[in-house]
Structure 1
Amino acid sequence: MDTTLVIRAKDVHMEFPVKNGPSVVALERINLEVPKGQLTALIGPDGAGKTTFMRLLCGLLDKTSGELDVLGLDVEAHSQEVQNLLSYMPQKFGLYEDLSVAENMNLYADLHGIPMGERPERFQKLLEMTGLSEFTSRLAGKLSGGMKQKLGLACTLVRSPDLLILDEPTVGVDPLSRRELWAILKHLVHDEHLSVFVSTAYMDEAAMCEKVYIMNHGRFLGQGTPAELSAIASGRCFEVKPLPGVAMRVLQSFLLADSRITDAVPSNGAVRFITTEPNLEIAWLVKQGMTPVPVEERLEDSFMILLKDDEQELAASSLVIFADSETETAVEIEESQVPKSDTDMPQLDYLHLTGQTIADDAPIDIEVENLVKQFGDFTAVANTSFQVRQGEVFGLLGPNGAGKTTTFRMLCGLLPSTSGVLNVAGVNLRHARTQARANIGYVAQKFSLYDTLTVYENLRFFGGAYGLYGDALERRIYEIMDEFGLTDKKDEDTSQLPGGYKQRLSMAAGLIHCPKILFLDEPTSGIDPLARRNFWQQITRLSAQGTTIIITTHFMDEAEYCDRFMIQDKGRLLILGSPADIREQVQLPKADMNEIFIEIVERARDKGAM
C-alpha cells in the first residue's frame, strides 16, 4: 500500500456490453498515479472516458479488468470504505431547489451522518469560503448558476474528505464565478492540504493544476505539468491579424484549410494558429499583407496538437470541409479557393466577399429599444437598447444572474416584455409573437430533445412543429442530417448520443425550417475545445449564408468570433461593440476576453457601490 498516492490505476480496462453487438470500450488499459495533496486535472473531448473513470474511482462502477486503488484501498473490494473517505461532485449535482441554502447543507450533513454539534463551525467556514453567508435562507432554485455550483461544492464538503473528485464543476458558470470557485479549490489544496482530482472543459483551469492528464477514446495521450505539456507546441504557435474588414472567423477558416496548420482560433484580437512543424513560414499570409508573429505556447495548443494527431480526419468530398473527425460539414469553400501551398493562395476577393464586417446599411433583423422586464418589484432587464443586422453574429454576455437569459427569452418571443419596443424579423413581438416565431430557430441551453426518440424521429417531430409536412419535410430531414453529419446516427436513440452529437442534433432541429434568425443559448457549455472549434465553423457558414445569429456563452474567448457583443449585469447594458471597439473602450489592447469581461463588470459594480 502506497500512502503517498491517492489514486493508482494499473492497466484499468472498462467495457460496456451492448445488446446484440460487440462491447463498447470506454477505457483502454490506462495507467496513472496521483500524489497526495495536489490539484490534478483530467481533460479530454466528449466521450473520452473521463466521467466513466471518475465513477470507477468512486466505486459507482466496476472495472472490467486491471488494478485500481483509491486512498490505498482496492476500490472494488472496499467500495463503501472508499466512499466514506472521499467526496464526489458530479456534473449534475443534486441540489433540492425548493429547499434553502441552509436546508440543503443540513440535508447532506444528515446523509453523511455529521453530528449536530460539528455543523455550526463547519457550515460557517464553508459559507464564508463560498461567499454564501448572506444567502442561507434563499431557496436553491433562486440562486444564480455560479452560486448553485458553489452551494454544490459546499454540500460536497460538509464532511472533510481525504480526496475531492469534481466532474466539470464550472460548466455553465461565468468567468467571475469560475475565478471564485478555483480560488476556493486552490485554498483547499494549499492551505488545508486536500487532494483534488478534477475534470474540466476549460484549458486555463487545467493550467492551474500541478499535473494534467489528457485523455481521448479511453486512452491517455499525454501527462505532465502544464509547462511540460505546453512545451509540445514550442515553436509552432503564431498570431496574425486579419485584413481590414475581414472577420476573424473567416480568416480562421482559410488557415484551417491549409494542411500545414494544425489549429486556428480567434484570440486577443487576432487569429492564433499552430503549424504542423516548428518555425514553419506560411508565405501566402505575408504576401497578402498579414504577417504572423510568434507567440508563447500554452496548454490548449498542445491539447489540440495531441488531439488532432490522434484523430484520423478524411476529406471525402469535392469540397474542402473544415471539421473534426466526427463531423462531415462545416464551412465549405470552393476547391480552387483553398490554399494548399504558398504558391496556391486564396482569392482575396472571396475573403472580402464573405468575411467583411456587417454593413451599416444591411437590413435590421432585431430592433430593441428601452426594453424592460419586471417580475413584481424586481427589475430583471432595465432600459436595454440595441440593433442586430442581417447575417451578423451578435453575442449576449454577462455574469450568472445578469438578466441575459431573460433578455434572450424575450427576443425569442418566449417571454413578454413589460415595456419597450421589440421587433424581430420585422414583426413587433408585443403584438404578433406567433408570426415572429416562424422566422426564428432556437437552441436551448439544455438540449430540448426527446431522449426516447431517434435522431430521425426528433427531426420529424420538430419539423412538424414548425409547419413542415409530407415530401418537403422528408427532403429537409435528410438535407439537415447530411449537413450536420447525423446520417449515420439516423436510427440511434438520442439518449445514447455523445454530447457533441446532441449539440449537433439540437442545431439541426433549430434550423430545420430554414429560419432567418437563430438563437443559441449557451450551446457550447461543457463541450471541449475541439467540438467548440467545429461548432463555430458551422456558425461561420450560416452567417455567410445570411442567417442572423444571437448567442449567449460563458466561454469569453468566443466573443472574438462575434461581429459585435454586449455585456450586461444586474439587468443593465454595460458595453456594446465589436471586439476591437471594446478593447479600445476599456484600454486593454492585448488582454484576453476573460480579463476584459471581468474588468468591465467589476468597474461597473465598483461604480455602482460608490
Structure 2
Amino acid sequence: MTLAHTIELEALEKCFPSLEKPAVASLTATLRSGAVTGLVGPDGAGKTTLLRMLAGLLKPSSGKLCVAGLDPIAQDRQLHAILGYMPQKFGLYEDLTVMENLTLYADLRGVTGELRKQTFDQLLTFTDLTRFTERLAGKLSGGMKQKLGLACTLVGQPQVLLLDEPGVGVDPISRRELWRMVHELANDGMLILWSTSYLDEAEQCREVLLLNEGELLFSGSPQDLTQRMTGRTVLITAPAGSHRALLQRAICLPSVSDGVIQGKYLRLILKEGEDHQQVLQQLELPDAELTEAEPRFEDAFIDLLGGGPNSKSALAEIMPTVAGDSTEIVIEAQGLTKKFGNFAATDHVDFKVRRGEIFGLLGPNGAGKSTTFKMMCGLLVPSGGKALVLGMDLKTSSGKARQHLGYMAQKFSLYGNLTVAQNLKFFSGVYGLSGKRQRDKINEMSTAFNFAPILNQTPDSLPLGFKQRLALACALMHEPDILFLDEPTSGVDPLTRREFWLHINGMVDKGVTVMVTTHFMDEAEYCDRIGLVYRGKIIAAGTPDDLKNQVASEEDPSPSMEQAFIELVQGYDREETA
C-alpha cells in the first residue's frame, strides 16, 4: 500500500517572455491520492507546463508548489525517487527491445538484483508485454508503446505518477487497457494526474481540473459539470442524405451553442432557456423527431469555452465544386494485399468509395489500416491486388492520379525550419502552382485559416491546432477532388476537431471525396460508411449505425460507436478461437 500523498498548488504562475498571457495563471488546488485526477483543456491551456513544474523541470514564476511534501526545485533528488513522469513524447529507445528499455530504466533508477527481477515480472504481467520482451520498441503498435512507456515509468515503484496525454494515437481497446492499469494503481493509493484532451477520458476521473489559456475554469467532479447541461442536449433525426448541410445551418443559429453528427442524428447543444420546438422551426423541420439526450462531459466543456464554431467553413467557400455524380466510384481496393515476409499486414481487402462520400478506416493499433491506407494513396506498393483511384492503377499511373489527391499525414509532413509562408509556398510549388496563381492561392488560404499573424513563425513553435490547419492548407493547395486523411486530429482538442470537420463537411458538400483513418469514435460518426480493419481484413463494413446495430442487444439497445468497435473486434477474436 502506497502512502497517501497530496499535491498542493497555491497561486502558482508560470510566464514565458514570448507569451503575452501567463502559461499557467494563479492556480490554486489540492490533488489527493487514491483515484485518478484529470487535467483537461484545449491546446495551449497550460497542461504540459503545469506537469513540467510538478516534475521539477520548470521553475514557477511565482506562487507555491508542493508535491508529496517536497519542493520540486529545492528537493528535486528526493522527489525524483518517488515520482514517475511520462511526457507526451516518451523517451523509448526504438532500436532497443522491450526488455532492454526496461533494463535501461532500472539502471537509471538503481533497481537491481532480486527486486529488479520481481519488478520486471510484475510490470510485464501488468502490461501484458511478457510475450514481446525480445521485440524492438520501434516495431510495437501505438498502444503497446504506451504500455511499455507506462511500465518504464513505473520502474522504481513511484508514489506520484504524472501522465501527459498517454491516450493520444491509441485505439479504444488499448486506451481501455491503459485506464484499467491506471485505476488499479490509483486504488493501491498512488497519486495520479492524467492530462488529456479526450473528454470521454475525463469522465473516468474522480476529479478534473479544467484549464483554458492557463486559467482554471472548473475544479471538481466531471459529473457536477455535466449535470449543468441537463435539458440542453438534443438529438434531431436528420432527413436522409442531408446531415452535413443541415449541421452547417444548425451551428449558425443564435440558439445553438454546438453541434455534431451522431449516426442518423444531429446532436445539438442549445443555449440556456431555448425552446426545443423553436429550433425545429428555424431548421425548417417542424415534423422532425427531437429527443433529449444524456449530456456528456464534452458538451459541458464546449459550452464552458463559449460553444463550438458558429459559421460556415471559409475554406469550403474558396474550394471549387467538383463535377461528377454520386454513383461514380472514385477509390477502389480489389483484393488488396501487402506482405512483409510471411506476415500479411493487409489480406485481400475489397471496398469501393463513391464521389462525395466520407469513407472511414477504423481498427486497433497494428490491425493493418495504415498499411491499407498507404497503398490506397500510392505511398506503398501492394504485394497483390489493385489500388485504384478514378479507375487508374496507382502502380502504373501514380503521377496522373496524384494530381487529383490531397494527403494529410498523421505526423504532419511540414518543414519545421521553414516559416508558415515558406511552407505554403513550397507545397503549392510541389503541386505545380507558380506566379500569380500561386500568390492568389496562398492569400486565399491565409485568409480562410487566419494565418496572417503567424506567417513568419515556424510550425515547430506553433500549437498543435495551428500545425493541423497549416497541414490541411498545404494538402489542398492544388484543389484536389480526393482527400486522404491519416488520423488528422490525433491529439488535438475537441474545439479544433470541430473546426477541422466543419471544413471537411463543407468540402464534401461540394463533391470532394474523403478517405480517413481515426481513433476518435465520435469522429467515425461523420463517415458515410466505415470499414473496420482487424488482422489485415475488413471484419465489418457499413454505415456507423449499421455497425452499432450489429452489436445492439436487449440490455443495450443503443450502443456507442466505441462499444461497437470493441465488441466487433472481440467478437471476431472469440469466433477465431472457437
Alpha-carbon distance in 1 for matches of 2:418, 2:21: 22
Tell me what 1:58 maps to: 55
Q: Tell me the equivalent position of 2:520.
A: 555
Match of 1:136 among 133, 143, 155: 133
Contact 1:321-1:332 at 8 Å conserved across structures: no
1:538 has 2:507 as partner? no
Residue of structure 2 equivalent to 1:216: 212
Q: State the aligned residue count.
A: 567
Equivalent residue in structure 2 for 1:321, among 281, 301, 311 = 311
Measure the CA separation in 2 of the matches of 1:280 and 1:116. Answer: 69
d(CA) in 2 for partners of 1:361, 1:263: 29
Q: Which residue of 2 aligns with 1:182?
A: 179
Which residue of the partner structure matches residue 449 of structure 2? 484
Which TM-score applies when normalising by structure 2? 0.94
Describe how 1:485-500 pairs up with structure 2 within 5 A. Answer: 485-500=450-465
Q: CA RMSD in A?
A: 2.1
2:298 alignment partner in structure 1 = 300
Deviation at 1:491, TM superposition (A): 1.4
CA contact (8 A) 1:40 1:210 kept: yes
In structure 2, how many angstroms separate the alpha carbons of the residues matched to 1:107 and 1:241? 56
- The match for 1:582 is 547
Q: State which of 558, 566, 575 in structure 2 corresponds to 1:607.
A: 575
Residue 8 of structure 2: aligned partner:
8
| Partner of residue 529, structure 1 | 494
Distance 1:254 1:84, change over 3 A: same
Distance 1:295 1:552, change over 3 A: same
C-alpha distance in structure 2 between counterparts of 1:429 and 1:493, whole Å: 34
**Matches of 1:78 and 1:543 in 2, distance apart?**
56
Determine the C-alpha separation between the residues in 1 that align with 2:117 and 2:404.
55
Counterpart of 1:368 in structure 2 is 333
Asked whether the 8 Å contact 2:39–2:47 carries over to 1, the reply is: yes
Distance 2:157 2:312 in 1: 48
Shift of 1:581: 2.6
Q: Work out the CA distance in 2 between the residues paired with 1:29 and 1:4.
A: 26
* Contact in 2 for aligned 1:478/1:487 (Cα 8 Å): no
**1:338 maps to which residue?**
none
SS of the equivalent of 1:161 reads: coil
Query: Matches of 2:156 and 2:401 in 1, distance apart?
Result: 52
Q: Any idea what SS the aligned residue of 1:308 has?
A: coil
Q: 1:275 aligns with which of 264, 270, 274?
A: 270
Alpha-carbon distance, 1:514 to partner: 1.0
Kept in 2, the 8 Å contact 1:88–1:165? The answer is yes
1:451 has 2:420 as partner: no
- Find out whether 1:592 has 2:557 as its counterpart: no
Q: Is the 8 Å Cα contact of residues 235 and 279 (structure 1) preserved in structure 2?
A: no
Q: Which amino acid aligns with 2:84?
A: S
Q: 1:266 aligns with which of 261, 264, 283?
A: 261
Which of 91, 94, 101 is the aligned partner of 1:94? 91
Unaligned ranges ≥5, structure 1: 314-319, 324-328, 334-353
**Unpaired segments ≥5 residues, structure 2:** none
Q: Which amino acid aligns with 2:80?
A: Q
Shift of 1:250: 3.1
Q: Does 488-497 or 407-416 show the bigger shift? A: 488-497
Q: TM-score, normalised by structure 1?
A: 0.89
| Structure 2 match to 1:41 | 38
> How far is 1:322 from its partner?
4.2
> Contact 1:330–1:534 at 8 Å: present in 2 too?
no
What's the CA shift for 1:31? 1.0
Q: Are 1:251 and 2:249 counterparts? A: no
Give me the whole-angstrom Cα distance separating, in 2, the residues matched to 1:152 and 1:133: 14
Deviating 4+ runs (over 6 angstroms):
none
Q: Quote the offset at 1:278 in angstroms.
A: 4.4
Equivalent residue of 2:94, what SS? coil
2:262 & 2:216 partners in 1: Cα distance? 28
Contact 2:315–2:445 (8 Å) recurs in 1 = no
**3-state SS of paired residue (1:382):** strand
For 2:561 and 2:34, the matched residues in 1 are separated by: 32
Please say if residues 260 and 275 of structure 1, whose CA atoms lie closer than 8 Å, have aligned partners that are also in contact: yes
Amino acid at match of 1:283: Q
How far off is 1:451 after superposition? 1.1
Select 2:387's aligned residue among 422, 427, 439: 422
Task: Kindly indicate whether residue 533 of structure 2 is the aligned counterpart of residue 568 of structure 1.
Answer: yes
* Aligned residue identity for 2:572: A
User: How far, CA to CA, are the matches of 2:232 and 2:362 in structure 1?
Assistant: 32
Counterparts of 1:296 and 1:581, CA distance in 2:
22
Q: 1:258 & 1:5 partners in 2: Cα distance?
A: 48
Deviation of 1:75 (Å): 2.1
Superposed CA deviations along residues 210-269 of structure 1, whole A, max 9, x for unmatched, are 10111100001111112211122122111111112322x333222211111111122354
- Classify the secondary structure of the residue corresponding to 2:558: coil
Where does residue 237 of structure 1 map in the other structure?
233
The answer for the alignment partner of 1:111 in structure 2 is 108
Match of 2:197 in 1: 201
Larger CA deviation: 25-34 vs 273-282 = 273-282
State the 1:525 CA deviation.
0.6
Tell me the distance in 1 between the aligned counterparts of 2:437 and 2:304. 43
Q: Distance in 1 between matches of 2:209 and 2:132?
A: 37
Cα 1:28–1:292 change in 2 (3 A) is same
Letter in 2 for 1:492: Q
**2:357 is aligned with 1:400:** no
CA contact (8 A) 1:243 1:289 kept: no
- Whether the 8 Å contact between 1:17 and 1:24 is mirrored in structure 2 is no
Superposed displacement of residue 51, structure 1: 0.4
Is 1:285 the counterpart of 2:280 in the alignment? Answer: yes
Deviation (angstroms), 1:84: 2.2
In the TM superposition, 1:166-181 aligns within 5 A as 166-181=163-178
CA distance in 2, matches of 1:145, 1:284: 43
Post-superposition offset of 1:184: 0.4
Paired position in structure 2 for 1:434: 399
